A and B are shown apart, each in its own frame.
Chain A
Amino acid sequence: MRKLFKKPFLSISILMLVLLSACSGKSSETTGEGTSSKEGDVINAKIGVISYITGPGAAYGEAITNGFKLAQKEINDKGEVNINLVIEDSAGKQEEALSAAQKLMSDDSIVALLGPTLSTEMNVVGPEAELNGIPIMGTSTTAEGIPQIGEYVFRNSLPEALAIPTSIKKAVEKNSVKKVAILYGNDDVFTKSGFDTMKKVAEDMGLEIVTIETFQKGQSDYNAQLTKIKGLEPDLILCSALYNEGAVIMDQARKMGVDVPFVGGNGFNSPQVIEIAGKAADGLIVATPWFGDKENPKVQAFNEKYEAEYKMKPDQFAAQAYDALYIMAEALKNAGEADRDKLKEALLEIKDLEGILGKFSFDKDGDVVMDPTVLIIKDGKFKVFE
C-alpha cells in the first residue's frame, strides 16, 4: 500500500525535474545569440511575431507573415534598419499565443512584438506585454478596447468602430435611408463587436431599427431571418458577418427579392464574397483601409512584388502587416537604438506616415487614425463608392 502510494509523487517529481532541466538547458541557448546593438549607422533589432500559422485560420497567418517578410526584405535592403524576425505560431489559441509571447518576451534582445492575429489572443497577450514593458502591435486585431489595454499596446489595423460608421454614413447619405434592419452572428467576437458598433451608429444617427436578427457560425439557411426582414421593408441592411456566411446571406436575400444594399464589417470585405455569391454580391458596401486597385504607385508596386514572391494577390491582412513593419522600422529609426521603452515613445510619435494603406498616425492610446476608403461591389467588382 505504501509503495503504491508513493508512485504518483515520484512520477510528478521526475516530470518536474525533467521540466526544470529542460528549462536550464534552453535558456542558456537563447541568451547566447542576443546581439541587438548599434553598429555604425545601422540599427539592428530583433522583433518577435506571433501568428496564426496552423489550424483553421491559417490563411490569415500566412498572409500576415508574407506581408512581414516582404517588408523585412525591403527595409533591410535599404540599410538604415536591420530587422530580424522571430516567428512563432499561436494556432489561434489563447494559451498558445500566451506561451509564444512569454517565450519571445523572455528573450531580452527582442524589442517588440507583432501580432497576435486574433483579438481574443490579444486580450490575453496584451496585458502580459504591458506588464513586461514591451511594445506590442496588432496588425489584424479590430475589436473594441485593444489599444486601451495599456501604454505598450498598439495596433495598425482599422478597428470596426472606425470603419463601420464611415460606411454606414456614406450609404445613408447616398440612398436616403430611414429604416434599417440588422443581421449578425452572435457567437463570434468579431461579428458581435461589429454589431455593437452598428447598433450604436444607427441609434446615434436617428435611424429606425426595424428588427435585429441573429445567426450562428456555419449556418447555411437564413430564409427565416430574411423573410422577416423582407416583410419589414428596410432601406438598408446592416450585416455583421464573416465573408463565408455573409456571401450566402446575400445570395439568399437576392433570390428572395430583397434588393436593398448591404453594409458589412471588415470581415465581410473579401474578394471571396464575389466568388461565392456572384451577381448577388452587388450592392455590398464596406469601408476598408486596403483597396488593391487603387491607382497609387506604391500600392501597385506592392501588388506586383507580392504576386511575384508568393504567386497570389495580397489581401488586407498582408497589406496591414506590410505597413506595420514599416511603422516599426520608422519608429526604430527615430528611437535611435533598439530599446523597448524608447521604441514605445517613438511609436506614439508616428504621424502621417505614408504607407500602402494611406496616411497613418497613432492616437494617444496607440489606436489607428486614418481615413478608410468606402467600397461598393458593382458588376462583380469592388469599386470606390462615391
Chain B
Amino acid sequence: MMLVEIVNPYYLQVGSFILINIILGLSIYVTLSSGQLSLGNAGFMGIGAYTSALLTLNFDVPIIVGVIAGAVVAGLFGILVGIPSLRLQGVYLAIATLGFGEVIRVFFVNWESVTKGAVGISGIPHIGREIFMVLKDAGFDPAIIGLKNNQFVFLTVFFVLLLINILLVWFIFRQQNSRIGRAFAAIKMDEKAAESMGINITYYKVLAFVQGALISGFAGALFAHVMSYISPADFSYHRAVEILIFAVFGGSEVIVGAIFGATFLTLMPEMLRFISEYRYMIYGLILLLMMAFRPQGLIDVQVLHWFQKLRLPKRRAEHGSKNQKHL
C-alpha cells in the first residue's frame, strides 16, 4: 500500500529526466576536464538518438544493442570531428563544434527518406514498456509487489537509468584518479608544459573528446527510448547550451558539480510550477546571480573540502573518548 502512494509516475518521470541530464552533464564534464570547450554534445546526442531509434524501429534490434550502437556511432563521429579540430582551442573549438551540431541537425531535417525530416520519428520502443512486456511474458505481475502497471514501467525506467548513472560516475571517478585523468588535468592546466613532460597531447585530447561524444550519444539513445519520440528540434543549439549550463552552473571542476547542476536545473522548473508564467524568469535570475557571484560554479574543490571539514570533527567526537577533545 505504501509503495502505491510513493511511486508516483510524475516524480519518477522527472527523476528519469534528471538522470538523463546528469549523463549529459557528465559528457561535457569529461571534455572540459581536459580543457576543451565543446558545444557539439547536442549533435552527438542526436546521432545517438537517431541511430538507436532507427535501428530498433527498422531492424527490430533489442533496445540495449540499439543504445550501445548509438553511443558507438556518436563516438566514431567524435573521432572524425576530434582529430581535425585538435588545432583549435577555447572559443574557436566551441564555435567549430557548435557548427558541427547544427550541421547534424540540418542533416536530420533534410534526410527525409530515413529520418522523416522535421516531423520526427514517433513510436520508438520505450525501455520501461519493453522490459514490462518481457517480464509479463515470463509470468510476472506487478500486482504481486503492490504496483499498478504504469507505476512499474516508470519504476523500471528510473532504476535502469540510476544503475547506468552509478556505473558511469564510478567509471569517470576512477578515470579521474588514474594516469589518464592526471594527463587530462595536466593538459587543462598548461598544454605546452604537459607536452614537455612527455604527455601525448594528441592522444589524450582526442580521447577526452571522444569520451564526451560517446557519453552524449549514449544519453541521446536513452532519451529516445524514454520519450518514444524524437525530432531534429530536440538537438538544436539550445540543447547544447543547456548541457553546457549543467556543468558550468554546478561547477565544472569537480564531478559532483555536473551532477548537482543537472539535478538542480532540471528540478527547479518543476518545483516552480506553482508560479507558472514567472518560473523561467526566476530560472534566468538564478543563472545571472550565479555567474555574477560564483563564476566557477556552485561547487568547487574548496566547497568540497569545507564539507569534509564540517563532517570530520563531528565523527571524531562521536567515536572518540572525551579526552581527545582537548588535544
Contacts and interface: CB of A to CB of B under 8 A. Distances in A.
A53 B276 contact: yes
Interface string B264-280: 00000110010011011
B282 to A, nearest CB: 11
Contact of B119 (A19, A31, A89, A143): A143
Interface in A97-141: 98-100, 102-103, 105-106, 120, 123-124, 127, 131-132
Contacts of A144: 119
Nearest to A193: B119
Contacts of B234: 94
B284 to A, nearest CB: 11
A22 B268 CA distance: 13
Contacts of A189: 118-120, 231, 233
Interface string A38-50: 0000000000000
B119 A98 contact: no
Nearest to B267: A19
Interface residues of A, number: 52
A206 interface: no
Interface of A is mostly: helix
Nearest to A187: B109
Interface stretch (A2-10, A70-78, A335-343): A2-10
A187 B118 contact: yes
Contacts of A31: 5
Contacts of B162: 16
Contact of B229 (A20, A94, A103, A191): A94
B106 interface: yes
B279 A123 contact: no
A361 to B, nearest CB: 26
Contact of A11 (B17, B256, B277): B256
Contact of A192 (B17, B119, B170, B256): B119
A5 to B, nearest CB: 7
A187 B232 contact: yes
Interface of B is mostly: helix
Contacts of B150: 131-132
B177 A1 contact: yes
Contacts of B200: none
Contact of B6 (A24, A99, A127, A193): A24
Contacts of A9: 166, 169-170
B250 to A, nearest CB: 11
Contact of A95 (B15, B227, B233): B227
Interface string B37-61: 0000000000000000000000000
A89 B117 contact: no
B325 to A, nearest CB: 23
Nearest to A62: B277
Given A1-B177, A89-B273, A192-B118, A23 B231 contact: no
A188 interface: yes
Interface string B4-21: 011011110111011000
A88 B273 contact: yes
A55 interface: yes
A224 interface: no
B17 A19 contact: no
Contacts of A4: 173, 177
A26 B11 CA distance: 10
A96 B118 contact: no
A98 B9 CA distance: 11
Interface string B158-186: 00001001100110011001000000000
A89 B231 contact: no
Contacts of A35: none
B10 A103 contact: yes
A91 interface: yes
A183 B215 CA distance: 39
Contact of B173 (A5, A20, A26, A27): A5
A37 B232 CA distance: 44
A240 to B, nearest CB: 11
A211 B229 CA distance: 32
B68 to A, nearest CB: 23
Interface in A181-197: 186-189, 191-193
B49 to A, nearest CB: 12
A205 interface: no
Contacts of B229: 94, 120, 123-124
B276 A89 contact: yes
A185 to B, nearest CB: 8
B97 interface: no
B6 to A, nearest CB: 5
21 contacts: A4-B173, A8-B169, A9-B170, A11-B260, A15-B259, A19-B15, A23-B8, A54-B279, A87-B276, A89-B276, A94-B234, A102-B14, A106-B10, A120-B231, A127-B228, A145-B122, A188-B118, A189-B119, A189-B233, A191-B118, A192-B118
Interface of A: 1, 4-5, 7-9, 11-12, 15-16, 19-20, 22-24, 26-28, 31, 53-55, 87-89, 91, 94-96, 98-100, 102-103, 105-106, 120, 123-124, 127, 131-132, 143-145, 186-189, 191-193
5 tightest Cβ-Cβ pairs between the two chains A and B: A102-B10, A23-B11, A103-B10, A192-B118, A102-B13
